[in-house]
Structure 1
């Protein structure tokens, strides 16, 4: 297809729009959902003064790729041609949301607001002007690379950036953009190196510092993000982005009150900041101050009625019940075919929960399914590749590998709780962290980061990890174990043992065994249908891309079972399996099993886990503050008629 693309693009550049359209539409007969062909068709139709036909092509494209920034920009031009000014403004706005590098979309947005003052009310004109100034000052190559990044063309964007850096070796804009590409492609070491180098070479370049602080927070390295944010604020004390980054880092290391106080300070100056109200709500919810958190979320959507995240955050408390007025408002946004894509996804998941609470299960499933379908379009998840990663773990993590492994870090302090999300891991964490000798931490990214570093850059379709585990020396394994203990020290409060509750670590049990052979591992297991459906109806903050489809969810569960069976064979006794249903049926017996496995004395506080006032940041935060209840065990049966694709896959496990 690349030759066809080049030919059509050349025709467009030459002004041969009719010929370009003919070529594109002829090719679309064989490839009716091809994104590039639909986009080329829309461009040609617009220049041929066929705006309505162009909009039809754009709508087909946006149905496939809802966050296609250039498609929204084309729609803006078409609506202008039709004199639909308000729709044009919305289209250009969506274009800038999907692709903030589209300078012409920003310019059109400002022009519309300058000429139509009634359109300026809902938009920050000064922010638009600042963005235009910033983009206009960038070298053309970097602006082009930034555009490619937001269109998802990371490899090409990286190539452009590296090419520009050959002529302007230490350009801070190029270095920061290359770091952003590293984050998006999960090559975190490159991103870290680039940002550290950029700050060292250009200490006055503040965007690098805020990007660095945000990356550290994203990686869970809040103790490192805090001084970076403080250094930025020393130069710009009233900068809201830096203050938010500082608050995020403080909350991440458990200094909750200080972080919350910063949010209050920002809101005192700018009470209309819906996003800050949302962040404040998250922090209050983690503290267990549910009524205050709900008030913060409501404040957020009152300021910005289209703020899907505020409604989803209310639903994600698991206890909030929406009013009919709120449901009507959510439906208005969820049922729009146009709009900000992420908001629509959030409205759909919130409506799924709202109708579930009303026992309108058909309506509920409609919105859960729609939300998942919309979300799946943004992830690019490939279940075949996930299956391959599991196959590689089984192939290379053999009995011989562990029998021949040299001694590594001997500490028995870490207790890993892993499995699938929504399988009861937060409940087990709450039980264990109620023990006087055990600290809770958070969902730590350290093991995932080590695995990513061992994977290295992908030179072909097969990563170096885990095959390269066999090549690591005793010194290297010990160094990795020592590094894990050192890096996680910041999240501990001084108890002899601590918990790392990261569900996805089940893939890396072999790595954990090699670097921390005396660690304890607990597999949180839940009945297949209950676990998978609970994951399907959850909109996760990040990751868990497999959960946004019944088939992909079922396949992932089967791969999880397959890999856990392998760990049982090659590492007998290393993993304790705790079934969620057993915890509900026999809490005290399950507690004793867990404590015996961790070689801890029995403490009644573990049975009375709901009295534990610790900070909890996962979706189960309110559920683990209540005594054991059984109501969630069979919730999936209310949707059984809709779950045939999931059932069929799980039956063949």
Structure 2
């Protein structure tokens, strides 16, 4: 006789796998067969609301082991696991509630919030959209859409949903005002955002997140005195708040008071339970040490920050997925196939895109700030639309295949205009995002790693300028280690995987250039530093715009760049980031063999002077 307890589901719900994540819907009993369990569910709900958590948990598990589809019991067990901090179990349970009852507004909102909190914006948006469909006059649903779309870099559409909440609400909730203020800040509308923060704080003076957002707005808008005043206020309200301290360190760093900024971070570590900083704080510390010339300590901080980020997030390079997609792109976009594919026609009634391509931290923000200082070029920033089109393409072209193979539908008589539809979808979304400016003939799209989709871009916008910013690959590796970004299948969570993905992408670019005609201009970051005016003239001539001297003063461009480079592009052109890999050469040794072919192809070297 085996007295051992039955194995429980790995998610931590407390149920057996067959009653949880491995549930077979085909084996569920009809509702009438489990009607006798309803009194147990009612007792569980009552026990939970009277604080008898253990009894409520026991009753829920008893019900769900017999009837895993009883939503009432699932909801109570979800609330229990959420309160216990068992996030994996809570997510599994609320997912089942949503699957069983797609019209459950509260559960749909809960699931969307869980996904938003861990950064899974694409799936969070799916559920948030469903919440709005379920209840189009629910302020909560619209607020959630606003939050998600703002985080997903579609703030103009997010603004619409925040303003819908204001329309649906009787008053002006301070938290909503702060959310809208952050949204406007990401759009570069600093004055409007500042006014909303002031109104929010006047109504509710001690909301931490509101004050923190306000301080970050002032720092981003270069009013360091105002930012410091808000942080002083926060320190009086929240004396040991980690968010206040990291914001103070960032602010001091921008003011070039590096030792003081470092002291703030060291004090944070001393106050923490384990005497250590978190991943974001470690990367900030490394950047400060780099500015101070303490390169050994800086790289140690970068390395530990990345290790801790992997451990805490569970994210690592999606090697197989990245490799498979790149292989499929290479296999589909060949000269023979491209010869048979149509091209979209060119719209003349709207501004045209200028695609600024490049690996994260290669200098794309510098190029965008430079060209968008032109009177006829507006900045679109990081538009997620090419990726969106790749995902939507099968449905839009009526294909059973995924991208890129779905493009084969263009050979069908009823899809010969398919690329025009994709083009119009892109331009409509750009308009909805509020990118177009009066008098502009062009707008920029500088989504990192769009160069993976050069073939698709050239089919949809055959005359669009494709500006590829290249930089010494080892400098890019240093930047990948010193900053947190998730672009590129999480490649930047480790040095070796960043190098692997960089090589894959650059080889794919070479493939595109060999197989199809492209309106393509490579521009070296180092040339922008060494010969700014010559490089700017080349860029503008390639786009088709007349030279304007104001483009040389890109640092006076008052738009807010929504990237990690937002601070650097507010300064005059400097060369301290040029060939900084020299300080880290021994740490970069493991990836030099990986990158050597592309280093040589781009005309760089690996030596003491960076040539």
1:408 aligned partner: 344
* Residue deviations 1:383-429 (CA, integer Å, cap 9, x gap): 34322222221111222343222242413710011211111111111
Change (3 A) 1:455 1:186: farther
* Structure 1 contact 608–627 (Cα < 8 Å) conserved: yes
2:502 aligned partner: 557
Find the residue that maps to 2:166 and give its secondary structure: helix
Find the residue that maps to 2:449 and give its secondary structure: helix
1:450 aligned partner: 389
Deviation at 1:502, TM superposition (A): 1.2
Find the residue that maps to 1:559 and give its secondary structure: helix
Q: Residue 437 of structure 2 is aligned with which of 473, 493, 496?
A: 493
* Residue deviations 1:114-161 (CA, integer Å, cap 9, x gap): xxxxxxxxxxxxxxxxxxxxxx99823654897999745799557613
Deviation at 1:468, TM superposition (A): 1.4
Q: Residue 482 of structure 1 is aligned with which of 424, 433, 455?
A: 424
Cα distance in 1 for residues equivalent to 2:421 and 2:482: 40
Change (3 A) 1:558 1:236: farther
Change (3 A) 1:290 1:324: closer
Cα distance in 2 for residues equivalent to 1:284 and 1:400: 54
Change (3 A) 1:596 1:652: closer
Find the residue that maps to 1:642 and give its secondary structure: coil
Whether 1:389 and 2:325 are equivalent positions in the alignment is yes
* Structure 1 contact 243–262 (Cα < 8 Å) conserved: yes
* Structure 2 contact 533–552 (Cα < 8 Å) conserved: yes
2:214 aligned partner: 280
Q: Residue 404 of structure 2 is aligned with which of 460, 466, 484?
A: 466
Cα distance in 2 for residues equivalent to 1:157 and 1:222: 31
Whether 1:440 and 2:379 are equivalent positions in the alignment is yes
1:629 aligned partner: 574
Change (3 A) 1:298 1:322: farther
Find the residue that maps to 2:159 and give its secondary structure: helix
- Normalization by structure 2: what TM-score? 0.75
* Structure 1 contact 532–554 (Cα < 8 Å) conserved: yes
Whether 1:264 and 2:209 are equivalent positions in the alignment is no
* Residue deviations 1:536-585 (CA, integer Å, cap 9, x gap): 10134888732121111111211121111112112334221111011112
Cα distance in 2 for residues equivalent to 1:541 and 1:294: 30
* Residue deviations 1:52-97 (CA, integer Å, cap 9, x gap): xxxxxxxxxxxxxxxxxxxxxxxxxxxxxxxxxxxxxxxxxxxxxx
Find the residue that maps to 2:585 and give its secondary structure: helix
- Structure 1: 5+ residue stretches without partners: 1-6, 14-35, 44-102, 109-135, 457-461
| Most deviating of 281-290 and 148-157 | 148-157
2:246 aligned partner: 311
| Most deviating of 253-262 and 236-245 | 236-245
Whether 1:214 and 2:147 are equivalent positions in the alignment is yes
1:172 aligned partner: 105
Change (3 A) 1:450 1:284: farther
Whether 1:427 and 2:366 are equivalent positions in the alignment is yes
* Residue deviations 1:515-550 (CA, integer Å, cap 9, x gap): 222221111111011111112101348887321211
* Residue deviations 1:297-342 (CA, integer Å, cap 9, x gap): 565566353425752674388634456565344235447885799x
- TM alignment of 1:69-84, pairs within 5 A: none
- Structure 2: 5+ residue stretches without partners: 15-46, 53-71, 599-611
Deviation at 1:270, TM superposition (A): 3.5
1:139 aligned partner: 75
Find the residue that maps to 2:360 and give its secondary structure: coil
Change (3 A) 1:299 1:346: farther
Cα distance in 2 for residues equivalent to 1:381 and 1:147: 32
Deviation at 1:432, TM superposition (A): 0.8
Change (3 A) 1:142 1:440: same
* Structure 1 contact 146–157 (Cα < 8 Å) conserved: no
* Structure 2 contact 75–93 (Cα < 8 Å) conserved: no
Cα distance in 1 for residues equivalent to 2:202 and 2:300: 40
Deviation at 1:606, TM superposition (A): 2.1
* Structure 1 contact 418–425 (Cα < 8 Å) conserved: yes
Cα distance in 2 for residues equivalent to 1:153 and 1:512: 41
* Structure 2 contact 78–90 (Cα < 8 Å) conserved: no
Cα distance in 2 for residues equivalent to 1:8 and 1:322: 62
Change (3 A) 1:359 1:186: closer
* Structure 2 contact 362–476 (Cα < 8 Å) conserved: yes
Cα distance in 1 for residues equivalent to 2:497 and 2:270: 25
* Structure 2 contact 81–87 (Cα < 8 Å) conserved: no
Whether 1:349 and 2:283 are equivalent positions in the alignment is yes
Find the residue that maps to 2:254 and give its secondary structure: coil
2:171 aligned partner: 237
* Structure 1 contact 278–310 (Cα < 8 Å) conserved: no
Whether 1:619 and 2:564 are equivalent positions in the alignment is yes
2:262 aligned partner: 327
2:457 aligned partner: 512
Deviation at 1:9, TM superposition (A): 6.3
Cα distance in 1 for residues equivalent to 2:8 and 2:124: 37
Query: Number of aligned pairs?
Result: 526
C-alpha RMSD of matched pairs (Å): 4.0
Q: Residue 480 of structure 2 is aligned with which of 517, 522, 535?
A: 535
* Residue deviations 1:348-387 (CA, integer Å, cap 9, x gap): 1122123223322222222111111111231243234322
| Most deviating of 593-602 and 282-291 | 282-291
Change (3 A) 1:631 1:243: same
- Normalization by structure 1: what TM-score? 0.71
Change (3 A) 1:162 1:627: closer
Change (3 A) 1:544 1:12: closer
Cα distance in 1 for residues equivalent to 2:383 and 2:517: 25
Cα distance in 1 for residues equivalent to 2:176 and 2:490: 30
Change (3 A) 1:372 1:592: same
Cα distance in 2 for residues equivalent to 1:191 and 1:344: 26
